[in-house]
Amino acid sequence: MNSRTFVCIVCPNGCTIETQYEGDKILSVTGNKCKKGIEYVRQELIDPRRTISSTVRIEGAELPLCSVRLTNVIPKKDIFRVMEEINKIKLTAPVSIGQVVIKNVCGLDSDVIVTKNMG
Ligand code: SF4
């Protein structure tokens, strides 16, 4: 049996959740104020997912960097691979919020989009 502590990020309460588990089977959960915390722990144990916010180079704008983010969370294990793709991006101004820079990055059902208007 294993023990692990999670901080639930589903809502601003940020409950500290103590969990005992074996493999992907949850044996006990304490500290969560609602059931969403159990789902969060289950997801973290089975298939942890994260999003990415970053910056990429841009030419022809007042600033040298433009902010981007993913439209969907991706498996935590793929973050390095996706960051390599994001680091290859070089934009040319103008760009606008929501503009897709990489569609379906690494085949993970998430797009890289611009989060700032830059003329
Ligand atoms: S367990 Fe429930 S109340 Fe606590 S942070 Fe998660 S979602 Fe919010």
pTM of the model as a whole: 0.82
Q: What pLDDT, on the 0 to 100 scale, is given for residue 107?
A: 98
Q: Which domains does the chain have, with CATH numbers?
A: 2-46 (no CATH), 53-114 (3.10.530.10)
Please give the number of the atom of ligand 1 that sits closest to the Cα of 13: 5
Is 28 touching ligand 1 by the criterion CB < 6 Å?
Answer: no
Query: With a cut of 50, which residues of the chain have pLDDT below it?
Result: none
Query: Which 8-state DSSP code applies to residue 19?
Result: E
Nearest to residue 72, comparing CAs of 112, 101, 45? 112
Is 32 touching ligand 1 by the criterion CB < 6 Å?
Answer: yes
Residue ID of nearest Cα to ligand 1 atom 8: 11
| 10, 37 Cβ separation under 8 angstroms | yes
Q: What pLDDT, on the 0 to 100 scale, is given for residue 24?
A: 81
CA of 72 from ligand 1 middle (Å) equals 21
For 72-92, how does the pLDDT look when each residue is reduced to its tens digit (9 = 90+)? 999 999 999 999 999 999 999
CA of 5 from ligand 1 middle (Å) equals 14
Backbone φ and ψ for 75, nearest 5 degrees, come out as -55, 135
Ligand 1, residues 38, 40, 41: which to mutate, most atoms within 8 A of Cβ?
40
Is 57 touching ligand 1 by the criterion CB < 6 Å?
Answer: no
| 33, 13 Cβ separation under 8 angstroms | yes
